[in-house]
């Protein structure tokens, strides 16, 4: 583990390094993480936030949870230099340039994590594609990856729309939940790929909404937080 830092209240960032040659993952995928804790091997799965530019070095954003032993250990005990076991990239939530030339990345809370991997990938790998990131947060201080999102949004082919679910005196920008109006502002196109990541109810609601707006079901890729 290269670094541990606080990203937002209750959310920590972890920068990991894998020294194993041939480590593979795709932007958007998750990995298994494991470690022995109090004599028992504990595992959990976490999405990766970084691009594949440096394949063996990657970033996680993990929300605190008292229910999961490994997550609790990461938040309460983990320090720079600690060892973890990890798997290669897993899951069908990923993006390759040949899959499409335009993507809309829709997330809420820590659901932004795999979407950031794709957003960064398009910039850092020089992918000839256009991406729009739609990100819903509950409080201004929960705006994860703020500096990177603002910097990347200066790219002519990368755009972001960050909305606060309720009005707040310290917030200047979009407010309200992600809805049809916001999706239409981002652009509805039957050839675009739509990636959804967040709470189960949000993903279910927005995938149905995209269908009603004319997006083919096969153009929606989703990952739910249970």
Report the pLDDT value the prediction gives residue 155, as an integer from 0 to 100: 94
Q: If one looks up domain 97-225 in CATH, what number appears?
A: 3.40.50.80
Task: Give every CB contact of residue 119 below 8 A, 6+ residues apart in sequence.
Answer: 105, 131, 133, 149, 152, 158
pLDDT tens for the chain, residues 1 to 226: 789 999 999 999 999 998 887 789 999 999 999 999 999 999 999 999 999 998 888 999 999 998 999 999 999 999 999 999 999 999 999 999 999 999 999 999 999 999 999 999 999 999 999 999 999 999 999 999 999 999 999 999 999 999 999 999 999 999 999 999 999 999 998 899 999 999 999 999 999 999 999 999 999 999 876 5
Determine how β-strand 193-199 pairs with β-strand 102-108. parallel
Architecture in CATH of 3-86: Beta Barrel (2.40)
Number of neighbouring beta carbons within 10 Å of residue 3: 13
**At which residue do the structure tokens 């679910």 appear?**
165
Number of neighbouring beta carbons within 10 Å of residue 7: 20
User: Which pair of structure tokens corresponds to residue 19?
Assistant: 């020294």
Q: How far is CA 178 from CA 10, 135, 148, in A?
A: 23, 8, 21
Between CA 61 and CA 197 the distance in angstroms is: 14
In 3D, which of 35, 50, 25, 117 has the Cα closest to residue 82? 35
Check if the beta carbon of residue 95 is closer than 8 Å to that of residue 27: yes
| Domain parsing of the chain, residue ranges | 3-86, 97-225
Report the pLDDT value the prediction gives residue 225, as an integer from 0 to 100: 62
Sign for the pseudo-dihedral over CA of 106, 130, 160, 113: positive
Q: Does 3-86 match 97-225 in CATH topology?
A: no
């Amino acid at each position: 583990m290269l670094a541990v830092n606080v990203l937002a209240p209750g959310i920590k960032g972890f920068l990991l390094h894998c020294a194993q040659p041939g480590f593979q993952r795709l932007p958007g995928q998750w990995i298994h993480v494991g470690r022995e804790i109090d004599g028992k091997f504990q595992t959990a799965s976490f999405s990766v936030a970084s691009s594949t530019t440096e394949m063996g070095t990657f970033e996680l954003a993990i929300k605190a949870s008292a229910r999961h032993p490994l997550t609790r250990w990461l938040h309460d005990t983990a320090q720079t230099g600690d060892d973890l076991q990890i798997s290669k990239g897993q899951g069908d939530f990923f993006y390759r340039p040949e899959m499409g030339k335009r993507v809309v990345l829709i997330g809420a809370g820590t659901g932004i994590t795999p979407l950031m991997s794709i957003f960064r990938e398009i910039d850092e790998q020089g992918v000839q594609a256009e991406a729009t990131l739609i990100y819903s947060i509950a409080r201004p201080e929960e705006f994860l990856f703020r500096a990177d999102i603002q910097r990347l949004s200066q790219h002519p082919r990368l755009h972001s729309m960050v909305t606060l679910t309720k009005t707040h005196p310290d917030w200047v920008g979009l407010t309200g939940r992600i809805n049809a109006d916001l999706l239409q502002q981002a652009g509805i196109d039957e050839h675009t790929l739509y990636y959804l990541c967040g709470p189960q109810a949000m993903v279910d609601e927005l995938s149905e909404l995209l269908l009603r707006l004319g997006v083919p079901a096969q153009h929606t890729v989703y990952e739910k937080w249970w």
